[in-house]
A and B are shown apart, each in its own frame.
Chain A
Amino acid sequence: MAPKFQIKVFQLSRFVKNFTIISIVSLSFLLVFFSKSDLYLINGIKIISSSVIIPITRVISAPVNAFSNFVDEYNQFKSLKFENKILQEEIIRLKKWQTLAIQNSRENKVLKKLLNATDNNLTLVKTASLINRNDSIYSKLINLNAGYEDKIKKNMSAINERGLVGKVIDTTSNNSRVILLTDPNLSISVKSISDGIFSLLTGNGDGKYLVSSFIKENKLPRLGDIVVTSGTAQIFPVDLLVGKVTKVEKNRFFVLPFVDFKNIDYVQIVTSK
């Protein structure tokens, strides 16, 4: 009786194993198929990955991060003398500019009063700091330490003192993910300041430049022209600084963003008023 029982158990376990494999493969294909949809399961996986997995990976990779910080500090220390000289020269230059700026600011206030103009069209939702970044392999994403409990919602814009940083694509209670301008999957509608030429920009894939994917009426902007958000797509507020046109080709142009994406510590999440 005993051997028969053993054979049955063996067959059952093999059946269970095969069934499990087929289930996993099928589940994988379903996940891939529905990954771009807004399914509860997909959102759940994204929430778990950003609120549970990211903190765990940060703890595990802490020694490597510490080493990276040490290398950074060593490099800074090495160039301290040289930087000091440059900064002293810059202080003298900035003092001259400051006097001019104060004059211009007063003049600006008076002119705005005369025109009855409003200051800007932005509402600050939250200033958040960066907790980790996933921008060295494939995509250009950063994670912030503020989520929907801080009233951050999907599609809000992320900016810093230099200009547009990106767009919020996912939020959990205390975290949110921002896709950077340099990601090839983010399109922004922009206009050039001098000519008002409307176009769409996407990341070039190199993590440095933005490239035009569509130009309205095929008019190309001039080299050195500044581009700002046009506000036509209703996603980004109007007139946020994006970058400068650095290369113009036959059917497209390249823009160098003002934001230094390697040095982002804090971003402001804003929305249109």
Chain B
Amino acid sequence: MEFSKFFNSSIKLNIILIISFSISVNSLILLPNINNAFYLLFHLTFIYLIFYHYHYYLYLVALLYGILFDILLFNNIGAHLLTFLFLLILFILLRKFLIKLTSYQTIFVYFITLIILLIIEQFLANLIHNYKFNIISIFNFILISFIIFIPTVFLLTKLDK
């Protein structure tokens, strides 16, 4: 209760972003899927922030995390930064349509957006950073997404009330 009083939804979601970012960039040799799960949690939280708490400061958030993810995971800037900005611009363009969606449709779009983001990141990693387009990795991400998606949505909506 104290926690809820002190922080508003946007701050709570940003704290989740910081934690999930930190865990996803510190590789755990024995539990690599935990890294992957937190990597996906970061993406889910970021999409949630854009969908439900759109604000201009999110461009700065995208810039900051995009650069940090790229530097720490590729040692060069590119894939994540472009993907996050692409997502923000796409949201502005499609905002009028997204508002009209029902809650089930929104959840579906939310999940599809996550998968598209991951595929774009892989594609850009291949194009800019010369990393192979790894189908196995994509399937692994999709599988983990299926597992964590509903609990994550539940957690985020609970935090967001």
Contact = CB atoms under 8 A, between A and B. Distances in A.
A257 B131 CA distance: 20
Q: Which of B27, B35, B81 has the most CB of A within 10 A?
A: B27
Contacts of B77: 31-32, 35, 42, 45
A210 B71 CA distance: 24
A84 B81 CA distance: 50
A134 B26 CA distance: 6
A27 B60 CA distance: 11
A134 B59 contact: no
B15 to A, nearest CB: 10
Interface in B59-105: 59-60, 62-63, 66-68, 70-78, 81-82, 85, 89
Contacts of A31: 67, 77, 81
A134 B73 contact: yes
A24 B81 CA distance: 11
B19 interface: yes
Nearest to A59: B22
A42 B23 CA distance: 24
Contacts of B38: 64
A57 B38 CA distance: 13
A54, A134, A185 pick with most chain B CB within 10 angstroms: A134
B130 A185 contact: yes
B119 interface: no
Interface residues of B, number: 47
Interface residues of A, number: 46
Nearest to A263: B29
A111 interface: no
A135 interface: yes
A148 interface: no
Nearest to B89: A25
B161 interface: no
A246 B63 CA distance: 43
A61 B23 contact: yes
Contacts of B30: 68, 71-72, 75
A32 to B, nearest CB: 5
A133 B31 CA distance: 13
Interface in B127-147: 128-132, 134
Contact of B73 (A35, A53, A138): A138
Given A136-B35, A184-B131, A57 B76 contact: no
B36 A28 contact: no
Interface of A: 17, 20-21, 24-25, 27-28, 31-32, 35-36, 42, 45-46, 49, 53-54, 56-58, 60-61, 64-65, 67-68, 71-72, 75, 132-139, 141, 169-170, 177, 179, 184-185, 205, 262
18 contacts: A27-B63, A28-B63, A32-B81, A45-B71, A46-B75, A54-B25, A57-B22, A60-B19, A61-B19, A64-B38, A68-B34, A133-B26, A135-B27, A137-B39, A138-B74, A138-B129, A141-B73, A185-B131
Given A54-B25, A64-B38, 5 more contacts: A32-B78, A57-B22, A57-B25, A134-B26, A141-B75
